[in-house]
Structure 1
């Protein structure tokens, strides 16, 4: 695993998201109801950035293009048109900084 610095904890307000580039793919990091989550940034239904989606108070994010919703905790697709889950990634808060752990890039 590779640990990537996302941002300072204070730079990600509740209900917002930020996109970071991982070694293999982009990751969207969300704060919802005070909790941190990380999902693959690309919607499983189409070419949309989930970091630009709508973070809901119920722990979901809505795709900005097609209104598909995903669970922030599990990545599960919750409604059509998406049917495939998004990958999830571990998030850590260390010394006031947010980090996400992503797999190493394939050689």
Structure 2
């Protein structure tokens, strides 16, 4: 799959446990929420703290531990101050690699996915 970088085995991605990684030099946090896998920029838009150090809610929001701003994992939009700017949302895909199902991330926004 062109433009996608494998980041971890699906089996290693625990529900509601953020996982920090780097894709093409960019810090990314990958999160499983139930059957959905999301990837967003691993930096709070308010304080530049790694979101991978925060908590994930079953509603699909990730929170920064420093000031409590939370972001929707689907849209990147913050839902309360002090953050006003969204975080980047990235495209994820499941790929087969060496007999393992892996999570792959593309830095392209979800609306630019390959058909």
Q: Does TM-score exceed 0.5, indicating one fold?
A: yes
Q: Which residue of 2 aligns with 1:54?
A: 55
The residue aligned with 1:10 is: 11
Match of 2:105 in 1: 100
3-state SS of the aligned residue for 1:2?
A: coil
**Mapped partners of 1:76, 1:33: distance in 2:** 20
| CA-based RMSD | 1.3
- CA deviations over 1:53-73 (Å, ceiling 9, x no partner): 100011101111110010010
Structure 2: distance between partners of 1:33 and 1:11:
14
How many positions carry a matched residue from both structures? 103
Instruction: Tell me if the contact between 1:92 and 1:100 (Cα under 8 Å) persists in the aligned partners.
Output: yes
Q: TM-score normalised to the size of structure 2? A: 0.84
* RCO higher in structure (CA 8 A, sep ≥6): 1
